[in-house]
Structure 1
Amino acid sequence: MQTTEDIKKIIEENLAVMLYFSAPTCNVCHALKPKLVDAISSNFKEFEIVSVDTSIDQEIAANFSVFAIPTVLVFLGGKEFLRKSRHMSVDEVIREIKRPYEIMIS
């Protein structure tokens, strides 16, 4: 089981991190996650992906001010860069990350 400190350490130690907040009862979460993980993995080699189950880790969700699921938080260079909740498309997330990510790793 991960803690808020574990996740903060991952964010500090990695160039690009995506936190994916979901819960077992969320059908949208389960439909979106594999597509999003696949798209992130194929477009961005340096990404670390962390899944947070809000039904278990309420404290982590609260710590990152996540109150709706699914929620995606993207951190670039240790700073929160993107926050998307509920209605999002995989293409939209990829599009918003692409340019700053490429600038960072070049």
Structure 2
Amino acid sequence: MAGAMNLIGRDTLYGRYWGATEHVPMMHFELCYYQAIDWALAQGLTRVEAGAQGEHKIARGYRPVMCHSVHWIGDAQFRAAIADYLDRERAAVGREIEVLTSLGPFRHEAHVEQD
């Protein structure tokens, strides 16, 4: 009926893909978040990284963090255009992370460095 693909790192479970053949209310959260967290804890992992996007993750205890991706673009002009866009996008995403973090479910304390 449904499945999720997670990648296992040294201390982190990385949730990346999921799909279902039929709609069942709350199945996405059960499969992709709650079961992933339960499994990661049982395996002694210290972190579950649920992937990019999705303000709905904040209410479920996931704090927004910057995600990184590595790509190689062969065409120099296209690479320069993408780099220009990414410079602006990185700043906008940083501001969005600050706003979403301030709205999160956790008590606000002094800044804590995240991985």
Same fold (TM over 0.5): no
| Greater share of strand | 1
Could you tell me the TM-score, scaled by structure 2's length?
Answer: 0.26
Q: State which structure, 1 or 2, has the greater radius of gyration over its C-alpha atoms.
A: 2
Could you tell me the TM-score, scaled by structure 1's length?
Answer: 0.28
